[in-house]
């Protein structure tokens, strides 16, 4: 990389781009995007390999472990593989591939890692309770006017604004 980082895309243009990808998914597949579902497949496969009997007896993991095929040969798993490569392509073209801990100027890496881990855990838990995340519910369900998706989206913003003040140290 030359070290010059390109600015981010205009948010409205990036939104139109994302919206057209989502529309394309609906036209081609009849379904939208997702992310947390693919990571649930990964967790289910992990549990299956460590404790097969436990995984098979769970109503939750069983949904992600089809009997006759590889559980990772799944639509969302392939889609998230694409997300990873797509992110890599965009990051490389813009010169944004840098090994950093993204944090506020006064925050230490360990403080940021602690917030990231526990925040990630809450998010993983919340996405399962809500049957999807910002991709599978907010964007995908939002575009087809799903009541649950709009409820989820408003709750996400409410929850985040409510505690923003208390977790501000890592960003300042």
Residues 34-63 close enough to bind another protein by CB under 8 A: 35-36, 39-40, 42-44, 46-47, 58-61
Binding flag, residue 85, another protein (CB under 8 A): yes
Binding flag, residue 99, another protein (CB under 8 A): yes
Question: Is 52 or 168 the residue whose CB approaches another protein more closely?
Answer: 168
CB of 129 to another protein, least distance (A): 3
Cα–Cα distance list, 164 to 109, 119, 156, 168, 170 (Å): 19, 12, 12, 6, 11
CB of 140 to another protein, least distance (A): 8
CA-CA distance, 172 to 170, in Å (whole number)?
6
Binding mask 101-140 for another protein (x = CB under 8 A): xxxx----x--xx-xxxxxxxxxxxxxxxxxxxxxxxxxx
CB of 131 to another protein, least distance (A): 7
End-to-end CA distance of the chain: 29
- Please select the residue that binds another protein; options are 66, 70, 108, 164, rule is CB under 8 A: 164
How many CA within 13 A on the CB side of residue 78?
5
Number of residues that bind another protein (CB under 8 A): 121
Q: Say if residues 142 and 150 touch (Cβ distance below 8 Å).
A: yes
SS3 at position 141:
helix
Binding flag, residue 65, another protein (CB under 8 A): no
H or E stretch covering 124: helix 109-129
CB of 38 to another protein, least distance (A): 8
Binding mask 7-36 for another protein (x = CB under 8 A): -xx-xx-xxxxxxxxxxxxxxxxxxxx-xx
CA-CA distance, 48 to 125, in Å (whole number)?
19
> Among all chains, which residue has been given the structure tokens 């409820």?
151
């Amino acid at each position: 990389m030359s070290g010059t980082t390109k600015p981010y895309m205009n948010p409205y243009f990036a939104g139109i781009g994302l919206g057209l990808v989502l529309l394309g998914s609906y036209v081609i597949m009849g379904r939208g995007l997702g992310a947390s579902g693919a990571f649930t497949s990964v967790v289910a496969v992990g549990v299956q390999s460590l404790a097969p009997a436990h995984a098979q007896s769970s109503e939750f993991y069983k949904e992600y472990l089809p009997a006759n095929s590889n559980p990772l040969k799944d639509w969302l798993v392939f889609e998230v593989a694409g997300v990873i490569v797509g992110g890599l392509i965009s990051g490389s073209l813009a010169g944004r591939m840098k090994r950093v801990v993204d944090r506020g100027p006064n925050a230490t890496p360990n403080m940021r890692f602690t917030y990231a881990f526990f925040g990630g855990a809450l998010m993983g838990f919340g996405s399962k309770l809500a049957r999807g995340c910002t991709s599978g519910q907010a964007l995908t369900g939002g575009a087809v006017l799903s009541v649950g998706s709009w409820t989820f989206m408003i709750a996400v913003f409410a929850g985040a604004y409510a505690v923003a003040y208390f977790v501000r140290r890592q960003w300042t």
